[in-house]
Chain A
Amino acid sequence: MGGIKIRVDDVTVRYVDAAGHAHVPLDRVSLNIRAGEFLCLLGPSGCGKTTLLNLLAGFLRPTSGSVSIDGAEVTRPDPRHVTLFQEYGLYPWRTVLGNVLFGLQAQRVERAEGERRARAALDLVGLGDAARRFPHQLSGGMKQRVALARALVVEPDVLFMDEPFGALDTFTRGRLQDELRRIRRDRKPTIVFVTHDIDEAAYLGDRVAVMATHPGRIAALLDFPADTQFSRESARFQERRAKVYAAVREAFGEDEPTEDEIEPPVAESPLQELAAL
């Protein structure tokens, strides 16, 4: 692990809505993210995790406090830090290859060179054969792979991921989580990953920031040894899950988040049920 990559210093986001109510999606959050680490922001809806990600990615400015990456204050989006969204954000009129080429064309990379890199990125996410297809011909999992290839092809040193697998079925989600781990081992980007899925955070994160609501804040920061080898069946994963779940329980006390706010740690995932046997 390298030094500090992203510094979040006493950041508050406050706004007044049309009805005159004040909202504080983020209240005095400070956080240091290390170069090359995988940080999960875990919390129910309304805890400000997506707001925090938008601040890091430069889509939003804080009301007070500051965010800096590599020592430079973040004021706007930057192609060195690419965000992946739950809804993919693919361009329906472009082919898969055209979508992956988008970032390269925006940066005026020469055509032949761009195509070579785009095809390599598609191979990396296992979509080498789908280059000529259109997004509407793809499943959700394939669309997110295209978005991942489009991000990776510009060789970003930070990936921001906003519930990227949230719309996918459990099996697809599990496969993509494994691929993300593999890509991470190869490319070593810094990853900030927003999720409301405790299993996902425990499986992927070197660190897990558990966020709480009203106002949005980081309630606990769990530090695990960096490890991308353990499986979902391993005792090590069970241990991580238990720790994350305990932190979530502590953050919300008896006033536990309701069903729609946070996904329960067990159930839902067949992979989990297999692991529990």
Chain B
Amino acid sequence: MTLPLRWGRRLLPVSAVLAFLGLWQWSAGHYPPDQLPSPLDVAAGFRELTESGALFEHIRISLLRFATAYGLAAAVAIPLGLLLGGYAPAGRACDPLLQLLRPISPIAWFPLAVLWFGIGNPPAIFIIFLAAFFPILLATISGVRDVEPLHLKVASNFGAGRVFTFVAVVLPAAFPHVMVGLHIALGTAWIHLVAGEMLGAQSGLGYLIVDARNFLRTDLIIAGMLLVGALGLAINGAMRRAEGVVRRRWGAV
């Protein structure tokens, strides 16, 4: 028996999810719910969260922090990247420093984040900012440096000045690279959202998970985790669509 291709394509991931849920449900039967709640327990916990309305407040706060930190990172990293990529001496000067700071996980900044910013919003924003900053910065620098020499040659031939060349050639040429950096940063920043919100924040999805742990509500921990995953998936999908628009507009470079 053969199914239409479209059905086959849907069926495969759906059956994988069902198998995973089945395995989970079966495993949960062997452990106390405090250690491993079943999918049904988690669904019940999720309903509890939505009914109280607290969940939406947590989501709103998390998205707000995320947008603030991510926006700040883009606002600092893109101009800085344009400067370091476009002005060779600045790039050469800062390169070793960047290479040194880049491999340090935002998690390693935790103690400093708390010392400098206390608890609540600022340290969380700081951690998310760090996670987004480097991917955007490095992509912007390479975008500016990778401008096709021929494109610059043509600009110089037409007598284009430095400012016009920068605005009309370098910026648009670097733009698709910047988009790639923004996309990567979206992923890393979202991953660090939960971590950042574990630093003494009193709200948000990270706090929700920590708080649930304090009350040994394992079902709520897992509900929070799945929610983080689902929101990340949605944000990433939106970003991919935006990137697709840019790619088409830029002739799929």
A complexed with B = yes
Enumerate chain A interface residues (CB-CB to B < 8 A). 57, 59, 76-79, 81-83, 85, 87, 89, 91-94, 102-103, 105-107, 134-136, 154
Q: Can you report 15 A-B residue pairs in the complex whose CB atoms are below 8 A from each other?
A: A57-B157, A77-B159, A82-B158, A83-B157, A85-B150, A85-B154, A89-B148, A89-B151, A92-B251, A93-B173, A102-B158, A105-B164, A106-B161, A134-B249, A135-B251
Are A106 and B158 closer than 8 Å at their CB atoms? Answer: yes
Task: Verify if B252 is at the interface (C-beta below 8 Å from A).
Answer: yes
On whether the beta carbons of B158 and A154 are closer than 8 Å, the reply is yes
* A78 B168 Cβ-Cβ under 8 A: no
Q: Check A105 against B168 for contact (C-beta < 8 Å).
A: yes
- Say yes or no: A79 contacts B150, CB within 8 Å: no
Contact A91 B159, beta carbon cutoff 8 Å: no
| Cβ B251 vs Cβ A79 within 8 A | no
CA distance A91 to B147 in the complex (A): 11
Complex Cα spacing A87 to B149, Å: 12
In the assembly, what is the distance between CA of A83 and CA of B250, in Å? 24
CB distance from A155 to the nearest CB of B (A): 12
Contact status B150-A89, CB under 8 Å = yes
Q: Are the CB atoms of B252 and A91 closer together than 8 Å?
A: no
B110 at the interface (CB under 8 A from A): no
Beta-carbon contact of B164 and A93 below 8 Å: no
Per the CB 8 Å criterion, the residue count for chain B at the interface is 23
Say yes or no: B157 contacts A136, CB within 8 Å. Answer: no
Contact status B251-A134, CB under 8 Å: yes
By a CB distance below 8 angstroms, the chain B residues around A92 are 250-251, 253
Contact call B172/A82, Cβ cutoff below 8 A: no
* B166 interface residue per 8 A CB criterion: no
- Which residues from A are CB-within-8-Å of B173? 91, 93
Which residues from 128 to 175 on chain B have a C-beta closer than 8 Å to any C-beta of chain A?
148, 150-151, 153-161, 164, 168-169, 172-173, 175
Q: Quick one: closest B residue to A83, CB to CB?
A: B157
Residue of B155, B156, B250 near A76 (CB, 8 A) is B156
Q: Mark B169-185 against chain A: 1 for CB-CB distance below 8 A, else 0.
A: 10011010000000000
A87 to B150, CA, bound (A): 8
Pair B158/A107 contact, Cβ less than 8 Å: yes
Q: Which of the residues B159, B169, B175 comes within 8 Å of A79, measured between beta carbons? A: B159
Q: Across the interface, which residues of B come within 8 angstroms of A134, CB to CB?
A: 249, 251
Known: A106-B164, A134-B251. A91 touches B157 (CB 8 A): no
By beta carbon, the residue of chain B nearest A86 is: B150
Chain B residues whose C-beta falls within 8 Å of the C-beta of A91 in the assembled complex: 151, 169, 172-173
When the two chains form their complex, are residues B158 and A103 in contact, meaning their CB atoms are under 8 A apart?
yes
Report B-chain residues with C-beta under 8 Å of the C-beta of A57: 157
Q: A105-B164, A106-B164, A134-B251 in contact; A89/B158 too (CB < 8 A)?
A: no
Residue of A87, A93, A94, A107 touching B159 (CB-CB under 8 A): A107
Chain B residues within an 8 Å CB radius of A102: 154-155, 158, 168
Q: Which residues of A contact B252 (CB under 8 A)?
A: 136
